[in-house]
């Protein structure tokens, strides 16, 4: 997700080759990738895409990882058929592209997916995880939808305003220390404001030496020094879901 005040590139990193364990379904007006948990515990997680779209293998890999830990997962197409950002796209056109893909205007899609999970998947406890663009979306829905028992926002941040700290339920924020998209000053401001205003549990974790996209768009075997941070971030994500969903 580009910082709205200062658009800059969001590198796709390592696009993995991955077929997926789930299958595609139609949820009212949108398509989605659904993976059933091996254990039906009545728990589900909505996984929200980054700017590269709902079909990015990396995001489906993360959804399947979450599913393997006891949650039915669904990756809806929150761009509703519009083209995702292409890795070779002209970044000067990115702000215009983003105007028709507002991460805070997804309520119609969220409502449809919640209904699907409750009626078709018999989900009684629901969480939400999002990456980059999806991290901003998670922050939005955690302020609006009390039925989300927990949220994990991964390198997504909302510009400062008075209403972005009123979280309804526990939310974990994961950031990278060397993120060219999200300056550490923004993370510090978020930390300060949540401490002053937030009434529910939250946690902010910043991973040293890491860059934007490290949790889902950096291969675990790319460098030995990065692997412990990737593993810890993914473990933190799952622990947060296990604790609150």
Question: d(Cα 106, Cα 141) in Å, to the nearest integer?
Answer: 9
pLDDT (tens digit per residue) in 3-47: 333 333 455 556 667 889 999 999 999 999 999 998 889 999 999
Give the per-residue pLDDT at 11.
55
Catalytic residues: 132, 179, 212
Q: In the predicted model, is pLDDT for residue 214 greater than 60?
A: yes
Q: 81 pLDDT exceeds 80? A: yes
Handedness of CA 96, 100, 104, 110 (dihedral sign): negative
Contact partners, residue 136, CB within 8 Å, separation at least 6: 1, 103, 104, 130, 153, 156, 157, 158
Arithmetic mean of pLDDT, 98-127 = 97
Q: What is the tens place of the pLDDT at every residue in 216-236?
A: 976 555 677 888 999 999 999
pLDDT, tens digit (0-9, with 9 covering 90-100), for 134-163? 999 999 999 999 999 999 999 997 766 666
pLDDT of residue 164: 77
- Burial of residue 119 (CB within 10 Å: 0-12, 13-18, 19+) is exposed
Average pLDDT, the chain: 90
Q: Which CATH architecture has domain 19-244?
A: 3-Layer(aba) Sandwich (3.40)
What pLDDT is stored for residue 14 in this prediction? 65
Transcribe 5-28 into DSSP letters.
TB--------------SSEEEEET
Share of the chain above pLDDT 90, in %: 78
- pTM of the entire predicted model: 0.92
Q: Are strands 30-35 and 23-27 parallel, antiparallel or unpaired?
A: antiparallel
HSE, CB side, 13 Å, CA atoms: give it for residue 99. 4
Place of tokens 């994990």: 152
DSSP string, the chain: --BTTB--------------SSEEEEETTEEEEEE--SS--SEEEEEE--TT-TT-HHHHHHHHHHHTTT-EEEEE-TTTTPPPPPTTS-GGGHHHHHHTS-TT--HHHHHHHHHHHHHHS--SEEEEEEETHHHHHHHHHHHH-TTEEEEEEES------TTSS--SS-EEEEEETT-SSS-HHHHHHHHHHHHHH--S-EEEEEETT--TTTTTSS-TTS-TTTHHHHHHHHHHHHHHHHHH-
The span from the CA of 130 to the CA of 148, in Å, is 13
Domain positions in the chain are 19-244
Residue 4 confidence (pLDDT): 37
**Residue that the structure tokens 């077929």 belong to:** 19
Q: How far apart are CA 118 and CA 52, in angstroms?
A: 28
């Amino acid at each position: 997700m580009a910082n709205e005040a200062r658009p800059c590139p969001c590198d796709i990193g390592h696009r993995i080759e991955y077929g997926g364990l789930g299958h595609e379904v139609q949820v009212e007006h949108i398509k989605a990738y659904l993976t059933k948990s091996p254990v039906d515990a009545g728990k589900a997680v909505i996984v929200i895409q980054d700017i590269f779209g709902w079909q990015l293998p990396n995001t489906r890999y993360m959804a399947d990882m979450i599913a393997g830990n006891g949650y039915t997962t669904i990756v809806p197409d929150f761009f509703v058929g519009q083209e995702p950002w292409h890795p070779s796209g002209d970044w000067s056109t990115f702000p215009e592209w983003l105007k028709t893909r507002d991460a805070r205007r997804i309520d119609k899609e969220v409502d449809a997916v919640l209904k699907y999970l409750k009626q078709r998947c018999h989900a009684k406890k629901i969480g939400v995880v999002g990456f980059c663009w999806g991290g901003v979306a998670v922050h939005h829905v955690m302020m609006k939808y009390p039925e989300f028992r927990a949220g994990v926002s991964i390198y997504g941040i909302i510009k400062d305003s008075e209403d972005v700290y009123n979280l309804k339920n526990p939310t974990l924020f994961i950031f990278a220390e060397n993120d060219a998209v999200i300056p550490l000053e923004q993370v510090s401001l978020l930390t300060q404001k949540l401490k002053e205003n937030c009434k529910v549990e939250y946690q902010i974790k910043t991973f040293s030496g890491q860059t934007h996209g490290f949790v889902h768009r950096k291969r675990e075997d790319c460098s030995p020094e990065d692997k412990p941070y990737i593993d810890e971030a993914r473990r933190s994500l799952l622990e947060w879901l296990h604790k609150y969903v």
